[in-house]
Structure 1
Amino acid sequence: MVIENCYSLLRSAGDGVVVMNGATQSVMSVDQTEMERVSEGTQGNAQARSRWLRRLMTWHWISSALALFGMLLFAFTGITLNHAGQIPATPVVETVEARLPPELIESLSSRTDASPADLPGDLRRWLGKEGIGLGNAQPEWSDYELYVSLPRPGGDAWLSVDFESGELLYESTDRGWISYLNDLHKGRNTGTAWSWFIDLFAVLCIVFCLTGLGVLYLHARERISVWPITGLGVMVPLLLAILLVH
């Protein structure tokens, strides 16, 4: 009898161990499933982050490669413009004095249109022989004189013709290559094509900066100095403009 009772207790205890083992296995199975879900989510986030990083880096290096020369040009001319008064420049002035042929004077004086939009072809050809090119300059006409203004980057020129005397006076001023580059920076007298280039270059710089900001954002969790340095780059010019620029 005693032996049977002991056997029953042992079997009950054994059943309890089995039950306990089943509960433990069930809890472990739930924990493992949850860990797999977390692992899958983490892996998905890492893949998305890697995909965005590759995309941003591609746009970043393409925009930087396209804007490289322009960025160097505008950075250099920013320095030369900031110190324009300290950079010596000796303008070179070229003057041409001539007298138009009588038939050409007659042609200009007897024009039917009081203010033609372009110069007569025979006058352009004669000026070309004298080494004077006027390009697409717009003439200004009066009853007694023709005047043409010829502004250009790094210099200027002008031409005048007196209809009564036939005297032609042409003057060209060249202020040097530093002045030329400065005018390119400002878009001064550079024409439509260069104006479009400045706009496209500005768009490239915006893409370059924004993709760089995106790369910084993705690396910020690994490099704690990212945002303090970025904030410093924002605050320095802002404080200078507010406190010291008057």
Structure 2
Amino acid sequence: MTDAAAEPATPPAPRPRPVNGARAFWLKELHRWHWISAGLSLAGMLLFAVTGITLNHAAQIPADPVTVETTATLPRPLLDRLAAFPAETTDPVPDAIARWAADELKAPIAGRATETTPDEIYVALTGPGADGWLTLDRATGEAVRETTTRGWVAYLNDLHKGRDTGPVWYWFIDVFAVACIVFAVTGLTLLWLHAKNRASTWPLVGLGVAIPIVIALLFIH
């Protein structure tokens, strides 16, 4: 008998323990929804995190507002049409006058509420990072548009606050918030499923919950 035949056979490597079917299913689904929600909310989370810092330090961030004023005179036919416009109202100006203001003064006043008196029509033209207005003299037709811009930091801060951003951004914030909730809940559930192999999981989660609560109770008055 040869030496090779005399050596005991090497025992086969143990097979990996099969993963519970339900657990494997939920791990797969949770990972899927976690990365999908992460992708959908990534840009928004970065924007809101950065602007959270800039808003918190708004007093230390210098701003250099720029004010621009433009004027034009309403043509006589359009001025005559204002005679039928109510003396006091908040209704938008007639469409023809709104189109003229958009062409001559780049003022988007169509559909916007006015502050109308017998002498003047006033329209607020606020937007993210900017303030402005347009006035229209009902006697002479003189139109004045003034716009003040406060820079990109102010623009991004107003996006964070949803200030004068319109309905599309309004709905984006809602969808983004839902994506963040899905991201956080799926992440917490994945932590729970892996917690037994990671001893620091729940201490870290508890710390993350406790810190804002303690600050709110002890340092916010």
How high is the TM-score relative to the length of structure 1?
0.76
- 1:188-203 to 2 correspondences below 5 Å: 188-203=163-178
Question: Does residue 1:105 correspond to 2:79, yes or no?
Answer: yes
For 2:132, the equivalent position in structure 1 comes to: 157
**TM-score of the pair, normalised by structure 2:** 0.84
* Counterpart pick for 1:49 among 4, 18, 23: 23
Q: CA deviation at 1:105?
A: 2.4
CA distance in 1, matches of 2:59, 2:98: 38
| 1:135-172, Cα deviation, whole Å (9 max, x unpaired) | 44222222121111111111021011121233222101
> In the aligned structure 2, how far is the partner of 1:52 from the partner of 1:71?
26
Q: Which of the numbers 36, 55, 58 marks the counterpart of 1:84? A: 58
**Structure 1 position 132, deviation (Å):** 2.3
Give the Cα separation in 2 of the matches to 1:208 and 1:86: 33
RMSD over aligned CA atoms reads 2.0
Letter in 1 for 2:76: P
In the other structure, the counterpart of 2:11 is none
- Residue in structure 2 matched with residue 179 of structure 1 by the alignment: 154
2:210 matched to 1:235? yes
Q: CA deviation at 1:115?
A: 3.6
Amino acid in structure 2 at the alignment position of 1:220: A
Cα distance, 1:114 vs structure 2: 5.8
Helix, strand or coil: the match of 1:134? coil
Q: Percent identity?
A: 50
Matches within 5 A, 1:32-71: 46-71=20-45
Cα contact 2:37–2:182 (8 A) shared by 1: yes
**AA of the residue aligned to 2:118:** D
Which structure shows the higher helix fraction? Answer: 1
Classify the secondary structure of the residue corresponding to 1:153.
Answer: coil
Q: Quickly say closer, same or farther: Cα 1:129–1:194, change in 2 above 3 A.
A: closer
> Letter of the aligned partner of 1:108 in structure 2?
L
Q: What amino acid sits opposite 1:140 in the alignment?
A: E
The aligned length equals 204
Higher Cα Rg: structure 1 or 2? 1
